[in-house]
A = this chain, B = another copy of it.
Amino acid sequence: MAEKKWTLTDIDREIYTDQLVLGPDDVAETPDGWRVVKQTLRGGLRDNVDVVAIQNGALQLVVVPTRGMGLWRGKCEHLEIGWQSPVRGPVHPQFVPLAQPDGLGWLAGFDELLCRCGIESNGAPEFDEQGRLMHGLHGRIANLPASQVEVAIDAAAGEIRLSGIVDEARLFGAKLRLITTYATRFGSKQITIRDQIVNLSAEPVDAMLLYHVNFGPPLLVPGSRAVIPIKTMAPVNSRAAEGIDRWDVYEDGQPGFVEQCYFFQLASDPSGNTRVMLRDEEGHAAVSLCFNVQQLPCFTIWKNTQMPPDGYVTGLEPGINFPTTRSFETQHGRGRHLEGGQQLDLNLTIQVHTDARSVAEAEAEIQRLQQAVAPTIHRQPIPEWSPAD
C-alpha cells in the first residue's frame, strides 16, 4: 500500500477542487492527528485565494497555490512561525500591481513565511535607459497561480506531500517552470521543499531563485540571534556596514529603521550541506534552514526591525544569487545558466526547534561547520557582490 493521491487542480484535465478535508479516516494505516484542508478564501485582499493547510500532528503549515505555491504561515506546538506584515494576506495576485513603474508593486502582496523570488529575475528593480521598468522587485513567480496541485498521503513512508506546478512563461519572454513538493512526515517538526526549475524554452536562460524566508515575533524579538556558518560575508551597502559589529543580533523595533542586508558565502560540510538558524535569546526556540551551497551558493540576511506595525521582520534567504539587479548578478556570473530544456534541483529543509536541547544541537552543528573554515568578514561592501552605493 503506497501513497494515495488527490488532485486539487489540474487545468489540463479540467479538475478543480473547491473544498477538501482529508484525515486519518481517508488513508488506512496512518496515525491520528494529521489533516489536510483545501479551502478557497473569500473577502478582502484574499478573495479567491486557494490555500492548503497541512497538519502533520506536530507542525501546521499553510501553502498558497494561488501565490506561486508559497508557504504562508507555520505553527509548531504554540510557536507561530512567520511574521506580521502591514498587509494582511494572503493577497490575491489581482491586487498586486507588479507592473507599477517604480518596480515595488510586489510589496503589496508580501506577507509570507516563505516566498520564492524569481525565476527570470529577483532582487532590486531594474530599469532601462529611459527609466522604464524591466524587472520588478523579486520577480513574478510569487504572484502566479499553480496550474497543477496534488496532495499525496504516503502511509508506507509516513509522509504528507503537497506538489504544485507554476509556470512563468510567455511569448518573447522566459519560459520557466517551477515544480515543487512540500514533504513532511507525520509528527515531524520539519518540512522539506524539493523544487525543480525547468527551462521550458529551446533557448538558454539564466535562472534566478531566492527563498525569502521571513520571521517576526515570537521567534524574532530583541536579543534573538542569527547563527550562520560563514565562509565570507560582506554588508550590501554603507547602511548595512554601519551595523557590521552586531549583524547577527536583533534589537528592539525602531521607527524609521532602514533595512540592512548582509551577503554570505557559507561554510558547509564536504558535500556542501549547511545550516543556518534564527534563535531566541534564551535558546528555547529556533528555526533552522538546511540546504546545499552547491545548489544555493548565495545567502542573504535581511534585517528589518522596524516597529511592529510597520513590519518587524528578518529574512534568512538562501539563493542561487544575491538580490541585487538581474544584470549585476549576471555580470558576476551568478544566476544559473540553463540550456534549453535543462532543469535544476533545489532543496530546502525548514526545521523548527521548540526546546533547548534541539536548539543547542542545531547550534552545535553550525559551530562545527564554522570550525572547519576561518571566516572572512568584510566590513565594507565588496564590488563583486554589491553595485556601487
Residues of A in contact with B (beta carbons under 8 Å apart): 9-11, 14-16, 18, 41-48, 85-88, 93-95, 97-102, 104-105, 107-108, 110, 127-128, 130-134, 144-149, 167, 169-173, 175, 200-203, 253, 255-256, 306-311, 340-341
A311 to B167, CA, bound (A): 15
Residues of B within 8 A of A97 (CB): 98-99
Q: Complex formed: what's the CA distance from A47 to B340 in Å?
A: 29
Q: Collect the chain B residues with CB atoms within 8 Å of residue A102's CB.
A: 128, 132-134
In Å, the complex CA distance between A322 and B263 comes to: 46
Give the chain B neighbours of A200 by CB distance below 8 A: 86, 309
Look across to chain B and name the residue whose beta carbon is closest to the beta carbon of A45. Answer: B145
A16 and B45 contact, CB distance less than 8 A: no
Min CB distance A303 to B, Å, is 14
Report 14 cross-chain contacts, Cβ distance below 8 Å, ordered by A residue. Answer: A11-B45, A14-B41, A16-B42, A86-B173, A86-B201, A87-B169, A93-B95, A107-B170, A107-B171, A107-B172, A107-B173, A172-B311, A202-B255, A307-B340
Besides A102-B128, A201-B310, 15 other A-B contacts (C-beta < 8 A): A11-B88, A15-B43, A18-B42, A48-B48, A86-B169, A86-B200, A86-B201, A97-B99, A99-B99, A104-B172, A108-B170, A110-B170, A201-B309, A202-B306, A203-B255
